[in-house]
Chains A and B, each alone.
Chain A
Amino acid sequence: GDSVTQMEGPVTLSEEAFLTINCTYTATGYPSLFWYVQYPGEGLQLLLKATKADDKGSNKGFEATYRKETTSFHLEKGSVQVSDSAVYFCALSDKNNNDMRFGAGTRLTVKP
């Protein structure tokens, strides 16, 4: 079945460092891909999404490109801030599923 594998954490970076969180997927169809962010004690918020190959989702300085050839949707940010400290979830949804498939989450801590 469809699944998502994302980079294990935790990830600790200094402020203004470059961030990459890897995410790869397995799907039989053509899924939509998502990144969600969860700040401490809160629910998940949609960060960005891409619905077809070569689409780039972007929001708040974060970017991810839907790469069909490598089945990947890596999250990147050029310069992280302390306020970016959170858990990041990669996810996919497909018309063949009734639910969304989530990765295990990657905890990011940014130190000043």
Chain B
Amino acid sequence: SQTIHQWPATLVQPVGSPLSLECTVEGTSNPNLYWYRQAAGRGLQLLFYSVGIGQISSEVPQNLSASRPQDRQFILSSKKLLLSDSGFYLCASSAIAGVGTQYFGPGTRLLVL
């Protein structure tokens, strides 16, 4: 099975500062990768997904961006954080687009002050 690593685990950043969250995957090749955000007490919102290196699809227009520089690396970034960017960010991996089970990382809790 796949193992998803995320770091940092927790991050406190001031408004207007940059952001970089990293996700790496073990145990599979050519995975489909996903970034979700979970606001406090809310469900999951899909932010980005990627079916291959350099291929990023955005689901929600916002001040965040994603990149996939290597097959099993997925990065979530922002140039200037907003208060509304606070939340729990989850990276997920799936071996098969659409019908495959998604495996999740432990998440990064981001607090923007």
Binding site for B on A (CB under 8 A): 31-32, 34, 36, 41-46, 49, 51, 89, 93-100, 102-105
Count residues of chain B with CB under 8 A from any CB of chain A.
27
> Is B101 interfacial (CB 8 A cutoff)?
yes
The 8 A CB mask of B6-26 against A (1 = contact, 0 = none) is: 100000000000000000000
The answer to whether A93 and B90 have CB atoms under 8 Å apart is: no
Tell me the smallest distance from the CB of A80 to a CB of chain B, in Å.
21
Instruction: Considering the complex, give the chain B residue whose CB is closest to the CB of A92.
Output: B99
- Write out the residue numbers on chain A whose beta carbons fall within 8 Å of the beta carbon of B98: 93-98
Binding site for A on B (CB under 8 A): 4, 6, 32, 34, 42-44, 46, 49, 51, 57, 59, 90, 92, 94, 97-107, 109
Complex CA distance for A98 and B92, rounded to whole angstroms: 13
Instruction: Considering the complex, give the chain B residue whose CB is closest to the CB of A104.
Output: B43
Q: 5 additional contacts, CB 8 Å, given A43-B4, A45-B104?
A: A41-B107, A96-B98, A99-B46, A100-B34, A100-B94
Return the 10 tightest CB-CB contacts between A and B, nearest first: A43-B104, A104-B43, A44-B104, A95-B98, A43-B107, A102-B44, A43-B106, A105-B43, A99-B46, A95-B99
